[in-house]
Amino acid sequence: MNSDEVFFKWLPEYSVKIKTIDNQHQELVNILNRLFVAVSKREGNKAIAGILDALTSYTRTHFALEEKLMREAKYKDLLPHMEEHRKLMAKLEELSNKHLLKEKPIYFEMLSFLKSWLREHIQGVDTKYSAALQQSGFSVTAWEREATAEFALMSDTKRWWEVWKTA
């Protein structure tokens, strides 16, 4: 694949019909695309480790907010959903803390794993909770107002944007 192509293109069918969540999913896609560029252009381990760090911290904050939403809406499948989040976080932390990856092909393998994981997670379990919440009459609009402010507080760093700008 040419490095000028978009690695992970956001499609309308990825929407879970909750704007705050869609925006955060799109940010995750942006960070993955940034990581792809860094790997393709061989920006070096320091740059890649920085983006992996940003990806890990953004994902952690996003998952926490999603779990809060499901908890407040008393969503019945909260626990298995949290388990999926927990497993991915463990994997991301392993990747970013240990700086295990030094080889370009391994980075690409990891990138395609993360891309499939995110796409399948969004179109699978995220779509399910969103549909269940809307059906149960939970006020997503009120939650979104609260969540936007909360997310700003939870994102202790805006680091990934800084990382992006250096591209």
Q: Which is nearer to Fe ion, 22 or 126 (CB)?
A: 126
22 binds Fe ion (CB under 5 A): no
Q: Which is nearer to Fe ion, 53 or 66 (CB)?
A: 66
Q: Which is nearer to Fe ion, 21 or 37 (CB)?
A: 21
CA distance 49 to 96: 6
CA distance 107 to 113: 10
- Contacts to Fe ion from residues 41-70, by CB under 5 A: 66
Closest approach, Cβ 87 to Fe ion, in A, equals 12
Where do runs of H (alpha helix) occur along 12-139?
Answer: 19-40, 45-72, 78-98, 104-121, 127-135
Tokens of 145: 């107002």
- Which positions ≥6 away from 142 have C-beta within 8 Å? none
- Which positions ≥6 away from 38 have C-beta within 8 Å? 47, 48, 51, 167
126 binds Fe ion (CB under 5 A): yes
Q: Which is nearer to Fe ion, 15 or 164 (CB)?
A: 15
Give the count of residues interacting with Fe ion (CB under 5 A): 2
Closest-CB residue for Fe ion? 126
Least Cα distance to 40 among 55, 53, 51 occurs for: 51
Closest approach, Cβ 35 to Fe ion, in A, equals 20
Closest approach, Cβ 122 to Fe ion, in A, equals 7
Q: Interacting stretch for Fe ion, rule CB under 5 A, among 46-54, 96-104, 108-116, 119-127?
A: 119-127
Residue ranges in contact with Fe ion by CB under 5 A: 66, 126
